[in-house]
Amino acid sequence: MTIVTGGAGFIGRNLVAALNRRGQTDLLLVDLLGETAKWRNLRGLVFEDIIAPGDLLGWLERPDRPPVTAIAHLGACSSTTAVDADFLLANNYRYTRDLATWALAHEVRFVYASSAATYGNGALGYSDLDAVTERLEPLNMYGYSKHLFDLWALHTGLFDRIVGLKFFNVYGPFEDHKESMRSVVAKAHEQIAATGRLSLFRSYREDVADGAQRRDFVYVDDAVATVLHFLDHPELHGLFNCGTGLSRSWLDLATAVFAAMGKPADVEFVDMPESIRAHYQYFTEADTTKLAAAGLAAPFSTLEQGVQRYVTTHLATQSATR
């Protein structure tokens, strides 16, 4: 059995679908559904059960549980604006420690989600080498909670046996439940469909023009393929960036969305909320050297390819049925 935490979430849901396409249905999903519409992400998936995160460690200790071969730990509080440090430490750091400790004690493959938010302002670059990891200073509490586990795994030698993936800006189907934390692709499609225009944040750095802020945008299918690669190859271990290795601007993204929708580009720039200005990343670009050495040398989808696929196969269809 494979356990997927965050199984009703964005990357988790897409991973479960990919495992189903392989014929694997002996899956335990771990997630909180509550009274939200998140349950809709489960439609079309085949799995054994779904339980709450707080019940997982108890389930793992049950004598009658089925054998577990792998844990893909993708569940977390991923809000970059979250300010409850105690919650983030408990949910993103200590919970991951508990799962990793159990997995290693039982010789179970453990692949977990870290984040590009650990790189902070990028002053040290975006290398996933251990020597760089030691020196990183995240800009927000979410990034710090992820960084703490990366450091703990590094200092305790766990990267000789587990895999961490620093996801960059992932976008694609089944992120609707994330609401304000949805990708800009999803938000842009919604805004353009309603108004014909797209608003982007102004730049507050003299050396960066409005719309020239850059990110490493990753289509979710490529993120899932990366997780599968490391689940398939237990001989591989370490901390890896999961990105395209090529940054693109917000204007590039806007142009791609307008093109996919068959509409002329019409972009305006608006003030960035003061609450995020001091913590805003103006540039991210994954160093993919280690990822390529681990066997993932094939290029990821380009921004234009990913946006086209997302808009035409998911967002446009979704809009038409509302």
The model's pTM: 0.95
Helix (H) or strand (E) holding 184: helix 184-195
- Is 321 or 228 the better-scoring residue by pLDDT? 228
From the candidates 93, 95, 142, 219, which is the catalytic residue? 142
Amino acid identity at 235: E
At 320 the pLDDT is: 55
Is residue 178 annotated as part of the catalytic site, yes or no?
Answer: yes
Domain boundaries, the chain: 2-171+218-245+285-300, 176-214+247-281+308-317
Domain 176-214+247-281+308-317 has what CATH class?
alpha beta
- Alpha-carbon gap, residue 20 to 51, rounded angstroms: 19
From the candidates 178, 187, 263, 290, which is the catalytic residue? 178
What is the per-residue pLDDT across 275-320, written as a single tens digit (0 to 9) for each? 888 888 899 999 999 999 999 988 899 999 999 999 999 998 875 5
What is the per-residue pLDDT across 212-269, written as a single tens digit (0 to 9) for each? 999 999 999 999 999 999 999 999 999 999 999 999 999 999 999 999 999 999 999 9
- Alpha-carbon gap, residue 150 to 76, rounded angstroms: 14
At 104 the pLDDT is: 97
> Given the structure tokens 């972009």, which residue do they identify?
267
At 171 the pLDDT is: 98
Using an 8 Å Cβ cutoff, are 279 and 120 in contact?
Answer: no
CATH T-level topology, domain 2-171+218-245+285-300: Rossmann fold (3.40.50)
The answer to whether residue 321 scores a pLDDT higher than 60 is no
Helix/strand number for the chain, H first, E second: 13, 13
The answer to whether residue 163 scores a pLDDT higher than 90 is yes
The SS3 call for residue 205 is coil
- Alpha-carbon gap, residue 93 to 145, rounded angstroms: 6
- Alpha-carbon gap, residue 268 to 189, rounded angstroms: 15
What is the per-residue pLDDT across 31-80, written as a single tens digit (0 to 9) for each? 999 888 899 999 999 999 999 999 999 999 999 999 999 999 999 877 66
| Burial (CB count <10 Å: 0-12, 13-18, 19+), residue 162 | buried
- Alpha-carbon gap, residue 161 to 182, rounded angstroms: 32
The answer to whether residue 18 scores a pLDDT higher than 80 is yes
- Alpha-carbon gap, residue 38 to 45, rounded angstroms: 13
Nearest to 276 by CA among 83, 85, 126: 83
Is residue 142 annotated as part of the catalytic site, yes or no?
Answer: yes
Residue 172 Ramachandran class (φ > 0 left, ψ -120 to 50 alpha, else beta)? left
- Alpha-carbon gap, residue 240 to 250, rounded angstroms: 25
- Is 158 or 180 the better-scoring residue by pLDDT? 158
Whether 2-171+218-245+285-300 and 176-214+247-281+308-317 share one fold: the answer is no
At 185 the pLDDT is: 97
